[in-house]
Structure 1
Amino acid sequence: MSVWGVAIVISLIAKLAYDIGYFKAQSLINDKNSATPNITQILTIESAQRIVSGALKEDPDYPKTIVTQVIDNNQKLATIIVENNKQRKIGWIIDMRLFFTGDLFNDNGYNLTESIEHQHNISRGEN
């Protein structure tokens, strides 16, 4: 009977130690998750200008390409209007860091760049 009693006591101690370690680990994970900021980034003209200047390797204090308007402030795909030498173009910023100008098509083949140019009266200057 004493062997069974010792085995039960050892298994209870092991179970208790496991539970304490598990709950301590869970509380650390929860603390870490609560410490991460849950902030949605907002694309301002200034932040868009920094992204565009960095992508085009221009001087951020005296850029040649100016961001004149943020059309769609989406965190994943933002639409902006840039101006260089009195020519306005539609620009796209992906994930708040990657900038490009050019045609962007949706999954149905619709040219989103042309539609936004039409909405904002931007002439399509073919290079």
Structure 2
Amino acid sequence: MIVLTFKLGYDIGYFNAQALEKDQNAELPTTQPVLTMESAQRIVSGALKEDPTNPQTIVDQIINNNHRLATIIIENNKLKKIAWIIDMRLFFKDDLFNDEGYNLTKGIEQQHNIKRGEH
């Protein structure tokens, strides 16, 4: 009888936990955030500590609009460079390598005719 009581208590607790987990998942946003030119410019200006109303470094193009790792082209003094925005908040403008050692920055520069000597 005691075992049956514990089993019943466990089952009720388990089902309540599952219902709570489903409710929490239902509250999560169903759409992915999208990086706009304006939000990318704010991130870049903030990271480089430039005046957001008159930035020296301009976001020229968003190449890959992935909310985890977005690829952008920035321009400063007519020099273009590949940069990265990580998780819609961190800015990174150096070479980025994948797990196989391929230089992603260099590959994208070649695709968009950006010369490495312009850095």
Structure 2 length normalisation: TM-score?
0.80
Q: 1:116 aligns with which of 91, 104, 108?
A: 108
Q: Which residue of 1 aligns with 2:83?
A: 91
Q: How many residues align?
A: 119
Match runs of 1:1-12 below 5 Å: none
CA distance in 2, matches of 1:109, 1:27: 44
Q: Which residue of 2 aligns with 1:46?
A: 38
Deviations 1:47-87 (A, max 9, x none): 11111111111122221111010011122211100001111
Match runs of 1:1-127 below 5 Å: 22-125=14-117
Alpha-carbon offset, residue 119 of structure 1: 1.4
Give the greater-gyration-radius structure (CA).
1
CA distance in 2, matches of 1:79, 1:100: 10
CA distance in 2, matches of 1:50, 1:86: 20
Contact 2:71 2:82 in 1 (8 A): yes
Percent identity between the two aligned chains: 67
CA RMSD of aligned residues (A): 2.3
CA distance in 2, matches of 1:72, 1:57: 24
| Structure 1 residues not aligned, in runs of 5+ | 1-7
Query: Measured at CA, do residues 64 and 25 of structure 1 come closer, stay the same or move farther in structure 2, by a change above 3 Å?
Result: same
Alpha-carbon offset, residue 29 of structure 1: 3.0
Query: Measured at CA, do residues 116 and 16 of structure 1 come closer, stay the same or move farther in structure 2, by a change above 3 Å?
Result: closer
CA distance in 2, matches of 1:89, 1:11: 68
